Structure 1
Amino acid sequence: MLPTTSRGRAPSSSTSRANSSTFPQYLRRIIKWQQMDIEYTFWQMLNLCTSPKVVYQHTKYHKQTKNQWARDDPAFIVICSLLLVVAALAYCAAYDHSAGHAVFVVISILFFHFLISGAGLATFCWFLTNAYLREEAPNSHVVEQRVEWLYAFDVHCNSFFPMFVMLYVIHYFLSPLLVAHGFMPALLSNLLFMVAASYYHYLNFLGYDVLPFLERTTFFLYPIGVVIVLSPIYSVNRNEIPNLIGRNQASGLQDQHHSTVPFFHKTERQNTPIQLL
């Protein structure tokens, strides 16, 4: 259980100045494509799906060379945003014919599903780790370390990408199967959601467990148990528990006229599986 009081000293003024100067520089680099390391970003994305511990091992090297845990290269966020736009347009092409609604879907996916919700989750984890999970300094001569907000957002982005692959890409190609009525399509759809959500929280745990000044980081694994317990219950009672852990992706496109991830609406009801474009 987490303690009920925060611990640790206030951050030093030098640390605060370093964090305040890093963020504006990070934002300026977003529009400078030539300064981004695209190859390394794709390497990270691949390994987050296959060997995530390797990615966070490189985080330690980054701390040694750059003196900060967070990435100073915004390429990951930029590429992930572009992939989200492509995925949203692909769903619109398959399920919807309205250009205006396509714009709405792209904005909803990019800003609300990724950036705004990610900033909220990062802020929560940033506050939680700094207030309750930092180790007590053994003496006054030890340099105090704190979780950077930008690093917390990096952890969210790292955790989000494999979930994006499962719930946006794999789900898209399985749509002809998952839109069918019946228990099995609902079970498969919710199983996909369960795996994606569990993997998200596992990567979230890895991101904070790699920081040597944090303790009790297994707290970030607790949501996995909740997802595993509730997912089969929802598969059986998805009509009685419509919003417990996430609405059935495929049947939502036909029966509910919407789904939670991704967020799309159909313009008309269909009785046969869609043909992917």
Structure 2
Amino acid sequence: MRYTTSTLSHGSRSASPLPAPANYQSNNCLSATSKSLKFLRRLFKFDQMDFEFALWQMIYLFISPQKVYRNFNYRKQTKAQFARDDPAFLVLLVVCLFVTSLGFGWVLDLTFWQSVSFIFYVIFVDCIFAGIIVATFFWIVTNRYLRASQIEADIEWGYAFDVHLNAFFPPLMLLHFVQLLFYNWAISLDFFISRLFGNTFWLLALGYYIYITFLGYNCIPHLKNTRLILIPLPILFLFYLISIIIGWNVTVSFIMFYKYRVY
């Protein structure tokens, strides 16, 4: 069906391929509070979650993260919200955190209760609490400074949290799984190659977090100057070079920090 400019003149942009923003469709959309409550109610209804699709998203966050965010745009068109309405991704992420934390406990030679404490730290502090802080920061910055116009729809806080979860998963697998396979016999040793190997893991993990965060906001049509999110990348690389030069094994330092938290 073709629409003329006059047809689209009431509260929407004719040049946009997306439907009118959610704040222009208030009669058809749930409030932010209602959406949050709906999400929380589904958190323990595992039979209603699409785990297969959530697993697909996890895989593509490694091989083609752009496709994951393309799906968020589809959700905006069909459900008038960018944020996930299915908690399956969060549930799978918590399972991954639980399993990899058990592996960490084994590598660090932690006792049972220390391992339990470590799991709680990783899930509720490193992932969720830190995610709330990061999501709130980007939610404020994008809505105040990156929107092309103040009449455009606000970025949902739930979407900002989803971007954090997306960006958190690849570093989790790199640092809490792959890196563990090499820690005791390679990274923990006092050699230059050990520092290079361990610090490179952190460079890749943090670089991936920044890049996927950038993709999350860059895919929203009415945001401008999203490339500013990439500014930390050269700073991160400079920090990486300095750590190698001064002989600082970042991985060993963080392992010691992890142990300190549970002792």
Q: Which residue pairs with 1:23 in the alignment?
A: 36
SS at match of 2:259: coil
How many pairs are equivalent? 239
CA deviations 1:195-250 (Å, max 9, x no partner) are 110111000000000001100000110111110111110122255xxxxxxx6113
2:182 corresponds to: 174
Q: Closer, same or farther in 2 for the Cα pair 1:69/1:159, shift >3 Å?
A: same
Quote the Cα distance in structure 2 between the aligned partners of 1:232 and 1:107: 33
**Alpha-carbon offset, residue 99 of structure 1:** 1.4
Q: Distance in 1 between matches of 2:123 and 2:253?
A: 23
Instruction: Give the alignment of 1:153-192 within 5 angstroms.
Output: 153-175=161-183, 176-192=185-201
Show the counterpart of 1:42: 55
- Gap change, CA 1:267 and 1:44, over 3 Å in 2: closer
Instruction: Classify 1:136/1:266 alpha carbon distance in 2 versus 1 (closer, same or farther; 3 Å).
Output: closer
Measure, in 2, the Cα distance between the counterparts of 1:41 and 1:266: 31
* More displaced stretch, 149-158 vs 176-185: 176-185
RMSD: 2.3
| Residue 128 (structure 1) aligns with | 141
The answer to whether 1:206 aligns with 2:215 is yes
Supply the distance in 1 between the matched residues of 2:261 and 2:124 (Cα, whole angstroms).
21
After TM superposition, the score normalised by the length of structure 2 is: 0.85
1:264 and 2:259 matched: yes
In 2, Cα distance between equivalents of 1:76 and 1:93: 26
Q: CA deviation at 1:94?
A: 2.5
Is this contact kept in 2: 1:178–1:251, CA < 8 A? no
Distance 2:77 2:25 in 1: 21
Q: What 5-or-longer segments of structure 2 have no aligned partner?
A: 1-22
**What per-residue deviation string (whole Å, max 9, x for no partner) do you get for residues 64-123 of structure 1?**
111100010111111101110111111112222411211111111111110000110000
Task: Map residues 76-91 of structure 1 onto 2, 5 A cutoff.
Answer: 76-91=89-104
With 25-34 and 175-184 compared, the bigger mean Cα shift is at: 175-184
Cα contact 2:117–2:262 (8 A) shared by 1? no
Tell me how far apart the structure 2 counterparts of residues 128 and 226 of structure 1 sit (CA, whole Å).
Answer: 20
For residue 252 of structure 1, report the CA deviation from its aligned partner: 5.5
- Counterpart Cα distance in 2 of 1:132 and 1:220: 12
Cα 1:126–1:252 shift into 2, 3 Å: closer
What is the distance in 1 between the residues matched to 2:262 and 2:211? 37
In terms of mean alpha carbon deviation, does 84-93 or 230-239 score higher?
230-239
199 and 30 in structure 1: CA distance in 2 versus 1, 3 angstrom threshold: same
Matched, 1:32 2:41: no
Q: Aligned equivalents of 2:156 and 2:254: distance in 1?
A: 38
Match for residue 67 of structure 1 among 80, 101, 105: 80
Separation of aligned partners in 2, 1:99 and 1:60: 44
Deviation at 1:12, TM superposition (A): 7.3
List, as ranges, runs of 4+ consecutive aligned residues in structure 1 with deviation greater than 3 Å: 11-17, 250-253, 264-268
- Listed one character per residue, the Cα deviations across residues 157-185 of structure 1 (whole Å, up to 9, x for unaligned) are 00010111111111111112111111211
TM-score (norm 1): 0.81
Q: Percent identity over the alignment?
A: 33
C-alpha contact 2:114 2:262 (8 A) present in aligned 1: no
Equivalent residues in 2 for 1:213-252 (5 A)?
213-238=222-247, 248-250=250-252
Distance change (3 Å), C-alpha of 1:23 and 1:266: closer
